[in-house]
Amino acid sequence: MNSEKSIIKIAKQTIEEESKAIFNLSNLITEDFEASVKLIYNSKGRVIITGIGKSAIIAQKIVATFNSTGTPAIFMHAADAIHGDLGLILKDDVVICISKSGNTPEIKVLVPLIKNANNKMIAITGNKDSFLGQQVDYVLNAFVEKEACPNNLAPTTSTTAQLVVGDALAVCLLEMRGFSSNDFAKYHPGGSLGKKLYLRVQDISSVNEKPQVFLDTNVKDVIVEISKKRLGVTAVVENKEIVGIITDGDIRRMLSDTIDFSTLTAKDIMGKTPKRVSADTMAVDALDIMETNGISQLLVEENGKYAGVVHLHDLIKEGII
């Protein structure tokens, strides 16, 4: 291989081979899959997911997906399990064992030990007739004809298949639990995805400066207020209600159009129809308003009264964008 075309060809071939194998998984879904989902859903315990080698890495990813979608799960390495970590498994826990061949030495040692404790077991394996497949309560078939690796050795297509089966389990359980976007946010409070689901405008505007002037405020003082509060904007208020807005763009236009502005007040240069949002508006919705209108600030209201400013930079800082 010595050309970019060859690299592109191999990449496309790899993706096509794996996609065909994944598509075929839908033909391998049986009653065991449904029974496995119901078993986990009705369990009073956790899900313990185990494997060895590359399957162990896939197990860790499935554990992460389960935990983030409302199904408590713990990873247990198959090799460590037979050297003390079996103590992780409690009476009501369901064990999922992942293995392409289902016949590795560690699996052959581990499975009988788990069965002796009477825990229910589920296998994700590419060989339903293997030792693992014959010993567990339910088998989820992750069979693939060949690896994407040209030598048919490196786990590639098979580990992708295992991951997809795990995702299918997680999504089915998510649906059965009625897991909502609000639930997702509870499990991801520090991530940008979670923030999109729980962060409100007031959470941002409440820590910002609150620039404001009045209808008769002299333009010089308006400029000082905008500069001092560093949000590029000020609200014009009357009886604590928003009646206008002045941006740094308004100031620049005034300076280019007016020689003497000593007698001008906020009322003379303000915009009379400012875009505004309520304090309890979701931050992501505020972003949509900014993008739709091509603006970088929104005035915030609470109970009809001026409450502050939310700036595009705030949303960037919080990872909403």
Q: What residue segments make up the domains of the chain, in order of their start?
A: 4-179, 198-317
| pLDDT score recorded for residue 319 | 80
Q: What is the percent of the chain where pLDDT is above 90?
A: 79
Fold observed for domain 198-317: CBS-domain (3.10.580)
> What pLDDT sits at residue 191?
59
- Binding site members for Zn(2+): 77
- Give pLDDT tens digits for 277-298: 999 999 989 999 999 999 999 9
Superfamily of domain covering 4-179: Glucose-6-phosphate isomerase like protein; domain 1 (3.40.50.10490)
Edge-to-edge strand ranges of the sheet holding 305-311: 276-278, 297-302, 305-311
- Alpha-carbon distance of 278 to 280, in angstroms, equals 5
Cα–Cα distance measured from residue 102 to residue 105, given in angstroms and rounded to the nearest whole number: 9
Say if residues 75 and 50 touch (Cβ distance below 8 Å).
yes
What are the residues facing 276 on neighbouring strands? 299
Question: Which residues fall in the annotated binding site?
Answer: 77
pTM above 0.75, yes or no: no
- 228-244 pLDDT tens trace: 999 999 999 999 999 99
Tokens matching residue 104: 């590795």
Pairing of strands 276-278, 241-247: unpaired
